Chains A and B, each alone.
Chain A
């Protein structure tokens, strides 16, 4: 019986931490690759409306964004509280949308142009007047595929 018993309890060897950096690096690369940095700084406050029939925007590279909402606090002295349009990093008027769409279209491959989507990120308290104007401009510039960005509605 005592044949297998070691004489005297041996101490457990310490766990090797040599592979720890490797594991951490692996995680690090995963997050580095999957991270998308926010490209634009929003100058407007946007609280998206709620909806249930959502579809996802799959190809980020084919999406151009139009933001509409109340200017943030620091801009309100300049622009007041009326909802304004933001394209990329700049303030814009309704008449700028056609140029913006054309510029966005030029930046893509010709083969991909017909799959482009315009995502409208519009605050839910905006009046429809400005939204209708934007839609008309989009129709004029033949950017017909749009996506009304919204949050998933939580069932209560």
Chain B
């Protein structure tokens, strides 16, 4: 006759579970990756490049970064702290300044016909520019456009841009497009 098997003690169960718990607690990383989101332009073959597209000088906001990580904004030396304000002024052009970009009338849902800027931001860096500086500049440019969108969303809809419906966001994006063009750095010859 088989002996009755004694009951397995469950007292150590908690200890084992604790050990596993602590292992997972220690190894868990819950950081969400985040970063500056950008879209690259489509690849165009060199010989198909259309050089005939002329943009008026007043419509281009030229930002140059040299190998010593200095900034040249519209042909004058500038500090990165001022870049955001200058970009906002350029993209909004609130007083229709002669030197700042032209505007054209466009039909936009929710807004009716609005004057939309023709401004383009052109960013060019040197091959020896530090990546950190490049990101800082990009950050200011993107930040300026984000701030303009935010202000418009607040004044028009009374809500923050991120909490708007997607079609309203789209309308705002049309008024303040993120047109940042990146020229290839010049190759040293």
Contacts and interface: CB of A to CB of B under 8 A. Distances in A.
Q: Do A and B come from one complex?
A: yes
Interface of A: 17, 20-21, 24-25, 27-28, 31-32, 34-38, 48-57, 60, 63, 117, 119-120, 122-129, 131-132, 135-136, 138-140, 142-150, 152
A87 B38 CA distance: 20
Contacts of B29: 35-36, 38
Nearest to B41: A139
B40 A138 contact: yes
B59 interface: no
B36 A145 contact: no
Contacts of B49: none
B25 interface: yes
Residue of A20, A25, A49, A125 ringed by the most chain B CB atoms within 10 A: A49
A148 B33 contact: no
A79 B143 CA distance: 38
Contacts of B14: 17, 20-21, 24
Contacts of A49: 131-132, 135-136
Contacts, number: 147
Nearest to A149: B35
B17 interface: yes
Interface stretch (B73-81, B122-130, B151-159): B122-130
B55 interface: no
Contacts of A63: 33
Contacts of A34: 28, 30
Nearest to A35: B28
Contact of A53 (B17, B20, B139): B139
A-B complex: 4 closest residue pairs judged by Cβ atoms: A124-B132, A31-B24, A129-B127, A149-B35
Interface string B11-25: 001100110110011
A52 B143 contact: yes
B39 A28 contact: no
A28 B21 contact: yes
23 contacts: A20-B14, A25-B17, A28-B17, A35-B28, A35-B29, A51-B135, A53-B146, A54-B34, A54-B36, A55-B34, A119-B33, A123-B131, A126-B130, A128-B130, A129-B127, A132-B185, A139-B40, A145-B39, A146-B38, A147-B37, A148-B35, A150-B35, A150-B135
Interface of B: 10, 13-14, 17-18, 20-21, 24-25, 27-30, 32-43, 125-132, 134-136, 138-139, 142-143, 146, 184-185
A128 to B, nearest CB: 4
Contacts of B38: 146-148
A56 B128 contact: no
B131 A27 contact: no
A57 B20 CA distance: 29
Contact of B37 (A21, A52, A55, A143): A55
A35 B142 CA distance: 33
A142 B44 CA distance: 11
